[in-house]
Amino acid sequence: MLHLKWILSEKAGLFMQKTKLSGRFWLALTVFSLVGQVAWVVENMYFNVFIYKMFHASAAQISLMVAASAIVATLTTIFIGALSDRVGKRKVFICVGYLLWGISILSFALIRVDVISPMVSAGAAVTTVCINLTILMDCVMTFFGSTANDACFNAWLTDSTDDTNRGAAEGINAMMPMLAILVVFGGFMFFDLEQAASWVNIFTIIGVVVLLIGFAGFWLIREPHVTPSPAGSYWGSILYGFRPSVVRQHRVLYLTLLAFAGFGISIQIFMPYLILYYEKSLGMENYVLVMAPAIVLAAVFTAFYGRRYDTAGFRRSILPGIALLMIGYLVLYFTRGTLPVFLGSLCMMMGYLSSTAIFGAMMRTYTPPEQVGLFQGLRIVAQVLVPGVIGPAIGAAVLKDAELVVNGDGTTSFLPNANIWLAAFAAGVVLCLLLALLFARLAKESPSSSQ
């Protein structure tokens, strides 16, 4: 049951009623967001390590995997988001999606050279087959994960919050990616990632956890009040957000999505290669011990910083986050020592998480409440598709002539270099130009919201 109290909203300059969210909501938000992000971290940061260490994948193959997954995630979110709006349900898509997501994660335990080798014809490169299978199953896993998390969990979060508490909820939601990295980093410390058996255990553990959360969701998640929107055709609903008339009607939302896409491109230039850069290029074998404190501090910072959107507005909350991000890029580009790398990583992570929280709150604020599911597809275009295709491609281009090292079996692998940070910084400059366009539009439509 919701409770109300009066608070002073500095952003609006008026007294507003703040909706108090239940403990059950916060528990559902925390559990589903964290477990979902743990699964995404393993995909986004460690599938690259998996095919690099097990099958000696190239930067181009890593880029292809990220791009293929991004395309599937986008299409899934658009189609399932529209479907969940039409039926007026979120809970069943989230819970069943998590169950199938867990099963698909378990399947990666079977992608091993010893398992695949007897199935391929003589002369075929087993490692190439394993890489292709990983890319294919990554797309299957992404379909279920995007159904549960990107399309319906995010729609559920929007349905369950309002303008008075969205920043606080988004702060918790946005800190989960880095908290998930901390969980994954800590867990992976106990495994030798050079051994196939370790990956079998990793995929089994994560798959089972995601399955259990899917079952728990049938009790934990409360179905928000969503009015079904059966009017018009299903395809019309899918294409709704791409109509020029809709773009003109919601200019602030679309400019926010455009800026968020620019932000995501900057992040995805380095993210697929981040672990490899720390471990292989900098020689930080204990990179987990260096990164863990930075992740904890960044996550705590973001949990509190998300509230700044509620009180100070978009402009005054997004600019400090972007500044931190770009300072982190510069420090990481120019330094190699453990302490400066820690400080640069801390700035980068604080900027990354806090900016993600502010962008998320801004998009939810300007999303039409009667068509939340439809607009989740547009959000995933900005958050996943555009960054997932363009960012890693830029990263792969930057690393085209990267140094090669010879593996124990005679094959070669590339070493990521610091140029990924310079490229990410350049993308950040473009982001600042996109933000200037958004600020100008906000000032024109509503001067008070542009603060």
**pLDDT tens for residues 111-129?**
998 898 888 775 558 889 9
Q: How confident is the model at residue 331 (pLDDT cuts 50, 70, 90)?
A: very high
| SS3 (DSSP) at 20 | strand
Confidence of residue 339 (pLDDT cuts 50, 70, 90): very high
Question: Mean pLDDT across the stretch 24-43?
Answer: 89
Q: What percent of the chain has pLDDT above 90?
A: 40
d(C-alpha 416, C-alpha 414), whole Å:
6
pTM of the full structure: 0.76
Residue with tokens 């199953």: 137
Query: Are 391 and 265 spatial neighbours (Cβ–Cβ below 8 Å)?
Result: yes
C-alpha dist (Å) from residue 260 to 37, 131, 236, 322, 365: 19, 31, 25, 11, 14
CA 309 to chain centre: 20
Q: Are 322 and 449 in contact (CB under 8 A)?
A: no
Q: In sequence order, which residues have a C-beta less than 8 Å from that of residue 33 and are 6 or more positions away? A: 153, 172, 173, 176
CA distances from 417 to 333, 411, 423 (A): 9, 20, 11
Q: How far is CA 285 from the centre of its chain?
A: 25
Query: In which residue are the tokens 């049951």 written?
Result: 1
Helix, strand, or coil here: 406? strand
- The helix or strand, by DSSP H or E, that contains position 33, with its residue range, turns out to be helix 23-41
Q: Is the pLDDT of residue 387 over 80?
A: yes
Q: Which helix (H) or strand (E) holds 19?
A: strand 14-20
For 441, counting Cβ atoms within 10 Å of its Cβ (0-12 exposed, 13-18 middle, 19+ buried), the class is middle
Q: H or E segment at 349?
A: helix 338-365
Q: How much is the average pLDDT of 398-421? A: 80
State whether CATH 3.30.565.10 applies to domain 21-450: no
Q: What pLDDT is attached to residue 187?
A: 87
List, for residues 49-68, the tens digit of each pLDDT value: 899 889 988 888 988 998 99
Average pLDDT over residues 411-424: 88
**pLDDT at site 162:** 76
Is the model's pLDDT at 2 over the cut of 90? no
Length of the chain: 451
Give the span between the Cα atoms of 134 and 399, in whole angstroms: 22
Strands annotated E in 295-448: 404-406, 412-414
Q: Which of 376, 88, 85 is nearest to 237 (CA)?
A: 85
First to last CA, the chain: 33
Give residue 11's pLDDT band: very low, low, confident or very high (50, 70, 90).
very low
Confidence of residue 342 (pLDDT cuts 50, 70, 90): very high
Block residue for tokens 């378990």: 106
Q: Which of 87-91, 130-134, 231-235 has the lowest mean pLDDT?
A: 231-235
Closest to 54 measured CA to CA, from 107, 109, 102, 101: 109
Average pLDDT over residues 367-371: 74
Q: Is the pLDDT of residue 288 over 70?
A: yes
Cα–Cα distance, 412 to 433 (Å, whole number): 40
Range list of H helices, 189-250: 196-220, 234-239, 244-249
Token digits of residue 326: 């770009």
Number of other residues whose CB lies within 10 A of the CB of residue 222: 14
Encoding tokens for residue 331? Answer: 């420090």
C-alpha span between 385 and 44 (Å, rounded): 13
Domains of the chain, residue spans: 21-450
What does the block give as tokens for 268?
A: 């995805």
Each residue's pLDDT tens digit, 148-171: 988 888 888 888 887 777 777 877
Cα–Cα distance for residue pair 343/283, rounded to 1 Å: 17
- pLDDT of 364 > 60? The answer is yes
**Count H helices, E strands: the chain?**
20, 4
Buried/exposed 407-431: b ≥16 CB within 10 Å, e otherwise = eeeeeebbebbbbbbbbbbebbeeb
Furthest CA-CA distance within the chain: 74
